[in-house]
């Protein structure tokens, strides 16, 4: 009996018991759907983060007081607070003068939020940073209107501001803000440029900010201490050299700070890799749990399939007898029932996949980005067919071993 014969046979007997097949499949369908939806959400989440990281500027190395590892728990935070020191312009110049693999290096400071005013209008909780003009190149800022600040504006502490899209649209709903004035802590600044809207990352809006020239910021906000610490943004000469640049910056800073080889870094270097690995470390354990739950649904589906196949074998004992009397070998009967179970299960997998695709489409449309990776679609169908085969093994073996005389005698 060849493959197509067995497959035809499987389909015809599944079709003969439409309702029963459907009910049997429900478990499988639910399992696969749940599995795929969860997977597609995770995948969507990953894509989302990757996109956002790319949006931040995937090649930027940030040097700051604390590293991601320092935030592991309260002990590491405490240790880092004791150990780590503020970054200084001295250190910036030290790196700038010696580094071979750096393309650009710039400084930013700040991060605290204040209220911004325009006349009687107030916008609350706006993040205010100071930045060197080179930051625009490093972060590859998209400028919707106007321009970024110039070196001379920075050197002369001119009161100019580059604002996020939301600041512009909320304080200047009509007309362009460029050339207009806004007030930060009572001091007026002239808006020179507006950034293109970027949306939000992890629920953090990216368009509610005001950037001032670093020196303007330093003199008007009271120095680079406490919550106005300096941090460096660095780009590498090329993507290939990225890792070398990270190592170089780290080494230079350690040299400058005279750290012994066995001492820990007393600063933090943050790369997009570090962000992705943080994401992985958060999602890793979640992933296992999330996959395990639909896995249980699949197991239940398998048990249902095994049960229904046992019923089918009992019900079709006569048919098995007839087939055997006509020359069906044990292998033929085994194949017939195994294929039926596998086909049944694979149909469940395919239906589940289609449902997941639909659900994913709806979720993407209304809630959150999802994506079903192609490999997982094949895995879902493969796994469900495999589950069917495993579940069908015992019933099929029972059928194959039936004594033809006994089987023919059955009603």
For residue 140, state whether it binds other proteins (rule: CB under 8 A): no
By beta-carbon proximity to other proteins, the closer residue of 372 and 400 is: 400
Q: How many residues bind other proteins (CB under 8 A)?
A: 23
By beta-carbon proximity to other proteins, the closer residue of 8 and 85 is: 8
Contacting other proteins (CB under 8 A), which of 330, 354, 359, 373? 330
In the complex, the smallest distance separating the C-beta of residue 322 from other proteins, rounded to whole angstroms, is 5
Contacting other proteins (CB under 8 A), which of 319, 354, 363, 394? 319
Contacting other proteins (CB under 8 A), which of 58, 332, 379, 390? 332
Contacting other proteins (CB under 8 A), which of 277, 329, 362, 378? 329
For residue 151, state whether it binds other proteins (rule: CB under 8 A): no
For residue 183, state whether it binds other proteins (rule: CB under 8 A): no
Candidate segments 63-71, 90-98, 189-197, 400-408, binder of other proteins by CB under 8 A: 400-408
By beta-carbon proximity to other proteins, the closer residue of 12 and 281 is: 12
For residue 315, state whether it binds other proteins (rule: CB under 8 A): no
For residue 410, state whether it binds other proteins (rule: CB under 8 A): no
For residue 314, state whether it binds other proteins (rule: CB under 8 A): no
Count of Cβ atoms closer than 10 Å to residue 123 Cβ: 18
For residue 326, state whether it binds other proteins (rule: CB under 8 A): yes
Binding residues for other proteins restricted to 8-27, rule: CB under 8 A: 12-13, 16
Q: Which residues bind other proteins (CB under 8 A)?
A: 1-2, 5, 12-13, 16, 318-319, 321-332, 404-405, 408
């Amino acid at each position: 009996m060849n493959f197509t014969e067995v497959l035809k046979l499987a389909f015809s007997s599944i079709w003969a018991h439409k309702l029963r097949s459907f009910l049997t499949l429900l478990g499988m369908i639910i399992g696969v759907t749940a599995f795929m939806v969860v997977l597609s959400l995770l995948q969507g989440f990953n894509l989302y983060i990757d996109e956002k990281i790319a949006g931040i500027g995937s090649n930027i190395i940030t040097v700051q007081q604390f590293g991601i590892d320092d935030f592991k728990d309260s002990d590491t935070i405490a240790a880092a607070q004791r150990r780590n020191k503020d970054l200084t312009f001295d250190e910036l110049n030290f790196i700038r003068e010696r580094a071979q693999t750096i393309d650009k290096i710039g400084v930013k400071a700040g991060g605290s939020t204040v209220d911004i005013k325009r006349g009687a209008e107030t916008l609350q909780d706006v993040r205010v940073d100071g930045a060197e003009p080179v930051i625009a190149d490093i972060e590859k800022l998209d400028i919707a209107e106007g321009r970024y600040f110039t070196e001379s504006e920075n050197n002369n502490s001119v009161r100019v501001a580059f604002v996020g899209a939301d600041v512009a649209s909320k304080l200047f709903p009509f007309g362009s803000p460029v050339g207009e004035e806004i007030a930060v802590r009572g001091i007026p600044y002239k808006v020179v440029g507006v950034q293109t809207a970027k949306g939000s990352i992890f629920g953090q809006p990216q368009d509610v900010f005001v950037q001032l020239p670093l020196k303007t910021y330093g003199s008007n906000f009271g120095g680079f201490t406490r919550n106005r610490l300096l941090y460096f943004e660095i780009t590498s000469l090329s993507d290939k050299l990225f890792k070398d640049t990270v190592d170089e910056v780290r080494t230079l800073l350690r040299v400058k700070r005279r750290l012994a080889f066995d001492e820990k870094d007393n600063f933090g270097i943050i790369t997009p890799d570090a962000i992705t690995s943080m994401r992985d470390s958060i999602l890793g354990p979640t992933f296992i749990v999330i996959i395990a739950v639909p896995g249980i649904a699949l197991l239940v589906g398998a048990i249902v399939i095994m049960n229904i196949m046992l019923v089918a074998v009992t019900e079709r004992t006569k048919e098995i007898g007839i087939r055997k009397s006509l020359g069906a070998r044990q292998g033929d009967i085994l194949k017939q029932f195994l294929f039926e179970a596998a086909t049944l299960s694979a149909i469940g997998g395919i239906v589940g996949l289609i449902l997941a695709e639909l659900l994913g489409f709806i979720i993407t449309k209304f809630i959150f980005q999802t994506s079903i990776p192609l490999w997982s679609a094949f895995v879902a169908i493969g796994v469900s067919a495999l589950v069917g085969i495993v579940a069908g093994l015992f019933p099929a073996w029972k059928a194959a071993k039936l004594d033809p005389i006994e089987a023919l005698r059955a009603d």
